[in-house]
Structure 1
C-alpha cells in the first residue's frame, strides 16, 4: 500500500485544486441572463447559424491534416523499433509514407493548399 501513497497524494492534490478553482469561479462569476447572451463563441453574437454547412474545400484541408497527423502517430513507435526489426521496417514505412503522400497529392490537386 505504501507504493501507492505518492499516486494517492497526487490525486488528492489534484482534487483539492479542482475544488478550489471551482469555488473561486463560483465566487467571482458574473451573473448574466441566459436568454440575452447566447452560449456561442464566448457570448459574441453569431454570424451564421450554428448548424450551417461547411464549404467543400475544408474536407480537403481535413484530409491533408489527417495525412500528416496519422504519419506522426505511427512514426514515433516505428522509430523505437526500427533498429531491432531492420530493413523490413524501413520498407514498410516507405510504403506507408507513399500511401500518405497519395492523400497529400490528392488534397493538393483539389486545391487545399491554396488559401486565396
Structure 2
C-alpha cells in the first residue's frame, strides 16, 4: 500500500487538529466580558428573552418564508424546465402569480411599512 496513510493515523491527525483549534480558541478568546457573555458582544440584554414583539415582525417573517419557498420550488423547476416544455413555464407563472397575490395582500395591509 505505497503512499496510503492508515485510517487510525488519519483519525489521530483529525483529533489533533480539533484539539489544537479548541486550545487556540481557549488561549485567544476574550476574557472578562460583561454580564451578557458571548452573546451581544458581551453587552447586557436590554429586553427579556420572552418579551413581546410587534406583529409586523411576524408578518415580515411570513413574507420572507413565502419568498424562501419560492426559491426552494424554483431550483428543481430550473433543472427540468427544458424537458417539460411550455407546461412547466405556465405552471411556474401560475405559482408566481399566487405568490404575488400574497405580496400584494401584505402590501395593502401595511406589512412593509416600518415607521
Quote the residue 1:61 is aligned against.
60
Higher gyration radius (CA): 2
- Matched positions, count: 106
Change (3 A) 1:100 1:19: farther
Contact 1:60 1:112 in 2 (8 A): yes
Quote the residue 2:25 is aligned against.
25
Quote the residue 1:37 is aligned against.
35
- Structure-1 separation of matches of 2:19 and 2:77: 41
Q: Which has the higher contact order (CA 8 A, sep 6+)?
A: 1
User: Which residues in structure 2 correspond to 1:1-116 (within 5 Å)?
Assistant: 17-32=17-32, 37-39=35-37, 40-116=39-115
Change (3 A) 1:12 1:98: farther
Q: Which runs of 5+ in 1 are unaligned?
A: none
- Which deviates more from structure 2 when the two are superposed, residues 77-86 or residues 91-100? 91-100
Under a length normalisation based on structure 2, what TM-score does the superposition of the two structures give? 0.74
CA RMSD of aligned residues (A): 2.8
Q: Which runs of 5+ in 2 are unaligned?
A: none
